Amino acid sequence: MIRALVVWLGLLALAIINGGIREAVIIPRTGELAGHVISTISLCVLILALAWLTIGWMRPASASEAGRIGGLWVVLVLAFEFLAGHYLFGTPWNELLADYNVLRGRIWPLVLVTTAVAPYVAGRVRGLWSA
């Protein structure tokens, strides 16, 4: 699981870079909602790519262990987003929760789903376990 934590730090770095590009480049060109959608989809692709690149190094022994890695990553994402987001960066709770409002076109929960399944999907695609 130590390697999974190291990879998650890479995911965190990608997410921060992705967010910076969203704010500096994408939103000024596309608007707020479209910028968040584009950024969410690009982050999902980055998560899957990093999982695919690192799954062999993390070496989960089984599909179920890969699932546990994905679960760990989701818990870490939520903890960072809400705890660091609110207490370290001072983001109000209503702003943090806004990304979860799919009725307003926000699709951030897709990132959590992608994060949860990425190690499993990467392991299956790389042929680490039999079906």
pTM to 2 decimal places: 0.91
More confident position, 115 or 101 = 115
Q: What is the pLDDT of residues 17-44, one digit of tens each?
A: 999 999 999 999 999 999 999 999 999 9
Inside any domain, residue 130: no
**Residues 114-122: what's their mean pLDDT?**
98
Residue 111: which domain range? 2-124
Q: pLDDT value at position 24?
A: 97
Inside any domain, residue 38: yes
With cut-offs at 50, 70 and 90, classify the pLDDT of residue 52: very high
Question: Can you read off the two tokens belonging to residue 128?
Answer: 């680490």
With cut-offs at 50, 70 and 90, classify the pLDDT of residue 56: very high
Q: pLDDT value at position 98?
A: 87
Inside any domain, residue 13: yes
Q: pLDDT value at position 105?
A: 83
Inside any domain, residue 65: yes
Q: Cα–Cα distance between 91 and 49 in angstroms, integer? A: 29
Q: Which residues of 43-65 are buried (b: 16+ CB within 10 A; e: fewer)?
A: bbebbbebbbebbeebebeebeb
**Residues 97-109: what's their mean pLDDT?**
87
More confident position, 130 or 113 = 113
Q: What is the CA radius of gyration of the chain?
A: 15
Number of compact structural domains in the chain: 1
Q: pLDDT value at position 131?
A: 61
